[in-house]
Amino acid sequence: MKVIIIGSGVIGASAAYHLARQNIDVVMVDKHHKGNATDAGAGIVCPWMSKTNNQDWYQMARMGAKYYPELIAQLKEDGETNTGYKQVGALGVSLHPEEMDKMMQNLESKYEDAPEMGTFKRLSGWEAKELYPPLNADFEAVHVSGGARVDGRLLRDALKRAAQKKGAALIHGEAVLISGGERIKGVKVNGETIFADTVIATGGAWAPALMNPLGLSLKVMPQRGQIVHLRLPETDTSDWPLLVPQKGHYMLAFDDSRVVVGATRENKSGFDYRITAGGVAEVLDEALSVSPDLKYGTVEEIRVGFRPMGPDMAPLLGTVQPYNNLILANGLGASGLTVGPYAGSLAALLAAGQEVNMDLSPYDPMRAIKQMQ
């Protein structure tokens, strides 16, 4: 069996890895568009604090967070340890104590189904500041021990390398689908035609262009995110928890004295790669109001990425009718680093024709696809 995967962002790389682990013949085709979301993603993995009522999103995100330790262990077995993943805990923070009471209730109600969130408890601003030193101590906090962070670039590259070690091929270029009747025959890339039994189309925010030649219109829009990386020289940030304010932007730290703050959520941005004064001001204003001591940090880098936004929060995962050998894996929106590795493993099962132990009907991609007139 041969599977082509178009796009090797976090979800495509994960699908490739899971297929290659089963000795299935895999070809990844990736253009690595500027502004791909995995390159820019912050890396918060903590779905339990979310206030959304969208259960379909929550179930997939919960499974995504739960799957990480298993995936990281598998990658380690395959010789890949540089993923940037670490369970550092998360601090939900607010100036309003009643919001923290609600967060405690929210976590209590989810705990039975998601014990992987670990322990959770209320902390005073000063207690929280001991864990996350730049915090404004006027904030009240809730600490969740299972919160984790991951470096999207490192994880994606580790998945790709591991897939390649198991025989997967990687082609740099832009793939165009080739159809014949109600099947996808393969793809054309760099002037060459490659045939396959099944194609997994990821493609992030660029996926609509992939579907258009099939006469299909895919409702996935790019949402621009501008995100700022700050360096705090000589500061050990490796164990700092994620900071998730109830209002405003999140913050997370990595091992190399780096704190990432952001990000903007700019709908209707199109593929506009500019870093704007307004975007950077918004991110820094919000960050400094919650963590004033970050003002001593130096601005190391500003990244811009385009989140692939589907018609609702839930991912798009399943077969694209009428092509029963074309699987779409997309719509990861703002939580793709949480969801992507797990959803990629499900896409791999679908491509291999194997059983999926989850009801995927809520994720049917056909809700986002229309025949073009």
Distances, alpha carbon 364 to alpha carbons 101, 311, 331, in Å: 36, 12, 11
Residue 110 vs 156, nearer CB to ligand FAD: 156
Among 4, 11, 27, 221, binds ligand FAD (CB under 6 A): 11
Bond prior to 162 in cis (omega within 30° of 0): no
Distances, alpha carbon 372 to alpha carbons 181, 206, 207, 214, in Å: 17, 17, 15, 9
Distance CA 241, CA 257 (A): 13
**To the nearest whole angstrom, how small is the minimum distance from the Cβ of residue 132 to ligand FAD?**
16
3-class SS of residue 354 = coil
Among 3, 5, 24, 29, binds ligand FAD (CB under 6 A): 29
Within positions 288 to 307, which residues make up the interface with ligand FAD, using CB under 6 A?
305, 307
Distance CA 342, CA 44 (A): 15
Distance between terminal CA atoms of the chain?
35
Query: For residues 298 and 336, is the Cβ–Cβ distance under 8 A?
Result: no
Distance CA 241, CA 239 (A): 6
Give the interface size with ligand FAD as a residue count (CB under 6 A): 45
**To the nearest whole angstrom, how small is the minimum distance from the Cβ of residue 97 to ligand FAD?**
26
User: Which residue number is nearest to ligand FAD in terms of Cβ?
Assistant: 336
**To the nearest whole angstrom, how small is the minimum distance from the Cβ of residue 313 to ligand FAD?**
11
**To the nearest whole angstrom, how small is the minimum distance from the Cβ of residue 308 to ligand FAD?**
5
Residue 174 vs 197, nearer CB to ligand FAD: 174
Q: How many CB atoms lie within 10 A of CB 280?
A: 17
Residue 127 vs 164, nearer CB to ligand FAD: 164
Q: Is 31 in the site for ligand FAD (CB under 6 A)?
A: yes
Residue 1 vs 171, nearer CB to ligand FAD: 171
Among 3, 15, 19, 37, binds ligand FAD (CB under 6 A): 37
Among 16, 36, 228, 290, binds ligand FAD (CB under 6 A): 36
SS3 content of the chain, % helix, strand, coil (to 5): 35, 30, 35
Q: In one letter, which amino acid is 4?
A: I
With contacts defined by CB under 6 A, name the span among 37-45, 50-58, 281-289, 293-301 that binds ligand FAD.
37-45
Tell me 193's DSSP state.
E
**To the nearest whole angstrom, how small is the minimum distance from the Cβ of residue 258 to ligand FAD?**
14
Among 4, 12, 58, 62, binds ligand FAD (CB under 6 A): 12
CB within 8 A of 324, min separation 6: which ones? 182, 183
Residue 245 vs 336, nearer CB to ligand FAD: 336
- Residue with structure tokens 């990480």? 68
Distance CA 172, CA 149 (A): 29
Q: Is 50 in the site for ligand FAD (CB under 6 A)?
A: no
Among 15, 20, 27, 41, binds ligand FAD (CB under 6 A): 41
Q: In one letter, which amino acid is 197?
A: D
Query: For residues 322 and 182, is the Cβ–Cβ distance under 8 A?
Result: yes
Among 87, 198, 335, 345, binds ligand FAD (CB under 6 A): 335
Residue 138 vs 212, nearer CB to ligand FAD: 212
**To the nearest whole angstrom, how small is the minimum distance from the Cβ of residue 152 to ligand FAD?**
6
3-class SS of residue 243 = strand
**What is the contact surface with ligand FAD in residues (CB under 6 A)?**
6-12, 29-33, 36-38, 40-44, 152, 174-175, 202-206, 210, 225, 227, 262-263, 305, 307-308, 330, 332-338, 340
